[in-house]
Amino acid sequence: MRGRLEFENNILYYHGMVNIDLISFISNYMKQQIDSNNSVHLKIYKVFIELTQNVSYYSADQQDSNRTFGSGKGWFSVDENNDSFIITTGNKILKEHGNILIKNSNEINLLNEEELRDLKRKTRSKAPIKDIGAHIGLIHTGLITSNKIDVRIGPIDDKYSFFTISAKVNKC
C-alpha cells in the first residue's frame, strides 16, 4: 500500500479487479484529464494499456471464477512529476515467476534502442498466436518510454509474491 505522502503527485489510483472494459474507460478518461501534448498522451496511453492488461491477464488473483484470466486483481497508479509521468501497476504472482521477471527486466534495461527492437522482432515472431500475450510487453514499454523499467518483487507467502512495475514517460 502507498503511504499518504506518496500520493502527493498522484493523478490516478485504483485498486481492485482490472478487466478490459475498465482499462478502456480509464485510458480514454486519462486522455481528457492529462494536460500534455499529443505525443506524450499517446505514450502514456500505450504504456498504461500494456501494463494494466498485464494485471488483467497475469495476476495470480483472478476475481471472476468463470475465467482463468482477464479479471485479475491488482492496482495501478499514474503520477505526475515536473519532467515525467510515472505509470505503476502491482499484482500478485506465483513466487517462481518473480526471478524470471527480474531477469527479463534486467536484460531489457541493458539494451539500447536498436537492440530492443531486434529483441522485440525475434520474440514476437516466436510467440504462439494463441497465447494471450505476445511476450513483448516489457520490451515494448522500454522502447516507448526510452527509460529503464523498474521491476520489484516483494514477499507474500510461500506460494505467492507481489510484483510491481513502473515506467516513466518523459514530458518532452
Stretch that binds other proteins, among 2-10, 21-29, 72-80, 97-105 (CB under 8 A): 21-29
User: Between 1 and 129, whose beta carbon lies closer to other proteins?
Assistant: 129
122 CB burial (10 A radius; 0-12, 13-18, 19+): exposed
What are the C-alpha distances in Å from 13 to residues 8, 58, 77? 12, 19, 4
Residue nearer to other proteins on the CB measure, 15 or 124: 124
Closest distance to other proteins from the beta carbon of 147 (Å): 14
153-172 mask for other proteins (x: CB under 8 A)?
--------------------
For position 137 contacting other proteins by CB under 8 A, the verdict is yes
> How many residues sit close enough to other proteins to count as binding (CB under 8 A)?
36
Among 49, 52, 43, CA closest to 144: 43
* 134 in contact with other proteins (CB under 8 A): yes
Q: Say how far apart CA 115 and CA 25 lie, in whole Å.
A: 34
Nearest residue (CB) to other proteins, 23 versus 93: 23
- Specify which residues 87 forms β-bridges with: 78, 167
Burial letters 11-47, b for 16+ CB under 10 A, else e: ebebeebbbeebbeebeeebeeebebeeebbebbbbb
Please state, in angstroms and rounded to a whole number, the distance separating the CA atoms of residues 67 and 52: 17
Minimum distance from CB of 4 to other proteins (Å)? 34
Residue 36 touches other proteins, criterion: CB under 8 A = no
* Residues 117, 91: Cα–Cα separation, whole Å: 27
Q: Which residues bind other proteins (CB under 8 A)?
A: 20-21, 23-24, 28, 37-39, 42-43, 45-46, 49-50, 53, 56-57, 69-70, 117, 120-121, 124-125, 127, 129-134, 136-137, 140, 143-144
